[in-house]
Amino acid sequence: MQFIDLKSQYKQIEENVKLAVNKVLDHGMYVGGPEITELEEKLADYCGSKYALACSSGTDALLIPMLAMGLRKGDAVFCPSFTFVATAEVSAMLGIKPVFVDIDLETFNMSPQHLEESIKYVIEKTDLNPKLVMPVDLFGLPANYDEIQKIADKYNLKILEDAAQGFGGKIGKKVAGSFGQAAGTSFYPAKPLGAYGDAGACFTDSEELIEIFRSIRVHGMGGERYDNIRIGINGRMSTIQAAILLEKFKIFDNEIKQRNIVASRYNKLLAGKIKTPKVNDNYTSTWAQYTVIAESNEHRTSLMDKLKSNGVPVAVFYPKPCHQQTAYKNYCHIASKLENSEYAAERVFSLPMHPYLEEEDQIKIAELF
Ligand SMILES: *Cc1c(COP(=O)(O)O)cnc(C)c1O
pLDDT tens by residue, 234-282: 999 999 999 999 999 999 999 999 999 999 999 999 999 999 999 999 9
d(CA 365, CA 344): 22
Q: Which residues of 235-255 are buried (b: 16+ CB within 10 A; e: fewer)?
A: bbbbbbbbbbbbbbeebbeeb
Which of 66, 87, 241 to mutate for ligand 1's pocket (most ligand atoms within 8 Å of CB)?
Answer: 87
For residue 336, which amino acid is it?
S
Distance CA 293, CA 296 (A): 8
Check residue 225 and give its pLDDT.
77
- Residue 124 Cα to ligand 1 midpoint, Å, equals 32
| pLDDT band (50, 70, 90) for residue 224 | confident
Rg (CA), the chain: 21
| Contact predicate 88/112, CB 8 Å | no
Task: Give the integer Cα–Cα distance in Å for 80 and 95.
Answer: 18
Query: Which of 165, 187, 196 for mutating ligand 1's site (highest number of atoms within 8 Å of CB)?
Result: 165
Average pLDDT over residues 188-214: 98
Write the DSSP assignment of 168-224 as a string of letters. T-EETTEETT-SSSEEEEE--TTSSS--SS--EEEEES-HHHHHHHHHHHBTTB-SS
The pLDDT value recorded for residue 235 is 98
Q: How far away, in angstroms, is 60 Cα from ligand 1 center? A: 9
- Residues 103, 110: Cα–Cα separation, whole Å: 4
CA dihedral 96, 130, 106, 308 (to 10 degrees): 0
- In the reported structure, the alpha carbon of residue 61 is separated from the centroid of ligand 1 by a whole-number distance in angstroms of 9
Name all residues whose Cβ lies below 6 A of ligand 1.
57-59, 83-84, 86-87, 136, 162, 164-165, 186, 188, 198, 200
> Which residues lie below 8 Å from residue 365, measured CB to CB, with a gap of 6+?
266, 269, 307, 312, 351, 352
DSSP 81: S
pLDDT tens digit sequence for 297-354 = 999 999 999 999 999 999 999 999 999 999 999 999 999 999 999 999 999 999 999 9
The one-letter amino acid code at 258 reads Q
As a whole number, the mean pLDDT across the chain is 97
Q: How far is the CA of 187 from the centre of ligand 1 (A)?
A: 9
117's enclosing H/E stretch is helix 112-125
Question: 139, 165 in Cβ contact below 8 A?
Answer: yes
pLDDT tens, position by position, 35-85: 999 999 999 999 999 999 999 999 999 999 999 999 999 999 999 999 999
Q: Is the dihedral of CA 36, 38, 42, 44 positive or negative?
A: positive
In angstroms, the CA 201 to CA 368 distance is: 39
- DSSP 8-state secondary structure symbol assigned to residue 83: S
The answer, yes or no, to whether residue 105 has pLDDT greater than 90, is: yes
Instruction: Report the atom number in ligand 1 closest to the C-alpha of 60.
Output: 9
How big is the CA angle at 89 (ends 85 and 94), to the nearest 5 degrees? 175
CA 54 to centroid of ligand 1, rounded, Å: 15
Long-range pairs, 143-147, Cβ under 8 A, ≥24: 143/107, 143/109, 143/110, 143/179, 144/104, 144/107, 144/109, 144/110, 144/112, 145/171, 145/179, 145/180, 146/171, 147/112
Reported as type and span, the H/E element at residue 90 is: helix 86-93
From the alpha carbon of 188, which atom of ligand 1 is closest?
A: 7
Q: What is the pLDDT of residues 159-194, one digit of tens each?
A: 999 999 999 999 999 999 999 999 999 999 999 999
